[in-house]
């Protein structure tokens, strides 16, 4: 098994549309991801959205399995980046997200001036908490009713890792 992080390209378009129309995949993701997710949304992501930071397609043996990225902050947060990721459901529970996050942390450390990575996780998304913990992220805080999505409030956990 060879897991790699790749720049998004048009070859990922169909997989993006299929994955991001799955409620299981988008359940704990930001509502800034359109729903339903169209081919035009995928084209925009490939051409523009995935260029905002270090954002990569996750591939296993050449097959698209998900997305992983670090989006830098602005102004006084310029040396911090928010980490986000998702996998298509058939690839859950195989350790791919932890392996991809370890690769991303190395890429951010080697190719940017980012000092701190952080990730906000919906309470209930224990798999994501485990991925972050596997990669040395530390739980820094718990926030009550921090997120409002689809008519519901969610508590979140904030994880962070200092990389230099």
Q: What is the pLDDT of residues 12-71, one digit of tens each?
A: 999 999 999 999 999 999 999 999 999 999 999 999 999 999 999 999 999 999 999 999
pLDDT at 42: 98
Residue pair 28/157 in contact by the 8 Å Cβ criterion: no
Residue pair 54/83 in contact by the 8 Å Cβ criterion: no
| Residues 149, 156: Cα–Cα separation, whole Å | 12
**How large a percentage of the chain has pLDDT more than 70?**
100
The residue behind tokens 């993006």 is: 16
pLDDT at 106: 98
Domain count for the chain, please give it.
1
DSSP 8: -
Give the mean model confidence (pLDDT) for residues 60-89: 98
pLDDT at 127: 97
Of 129, 19, 30, residue with least CA distance to 63: 19
pLDDT at 108: 98
pLDDT at 152: 95
Residue pair 64/56 in contact by the 8 Å Cβ criterion: no
Assessment of whether the complete model's pTM goes beyond 0.85: yes
Residue 109, Cβ neighbours under 10 Å: how many? 14
Domain CATH number, residue 95 = 3.40.630.30
Domain ranges, residue 44: 3-162
pLDDT at 154: 97
DSSP 94: S
Cα 138 vs. chain centroid, distance in angstroms? 17
């Amino acid at each position: 098994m060879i897991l790699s992080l790749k720049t998004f390209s048009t070859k990922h378009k169909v997989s993006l549309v299929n994955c991001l129309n799955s409620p299981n995949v988008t359940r704990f993701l930001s509502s800034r991801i359109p729903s339903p997710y169209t081919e035009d949304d995928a084209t925009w992501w490939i051409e523009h959205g995935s260029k905002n930071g270090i954002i990569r397609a996750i591939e296993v043996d050449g097959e698209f399995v998900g997305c992983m990225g670090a989006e830098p902050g602005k102004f006084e947060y310029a040396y911090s980046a928010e980490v986000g990721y998702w996998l298509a459901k058939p690839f859950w529970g195989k350790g791919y997200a932890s392996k991809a996050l370890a690769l991303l942390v190395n890429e951010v450390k080697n190719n940017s001036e980012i000092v701190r990575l952080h990730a906000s996780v919906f309470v209930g998304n224990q798999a994501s908490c485990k991925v972050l913990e596997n990669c040395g992220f530390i739980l820094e805080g718990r926030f009550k009713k921090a997120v409002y999505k689809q008519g519901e409030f969610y508590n979140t956990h904030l994880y962070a890792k200092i990389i230099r």
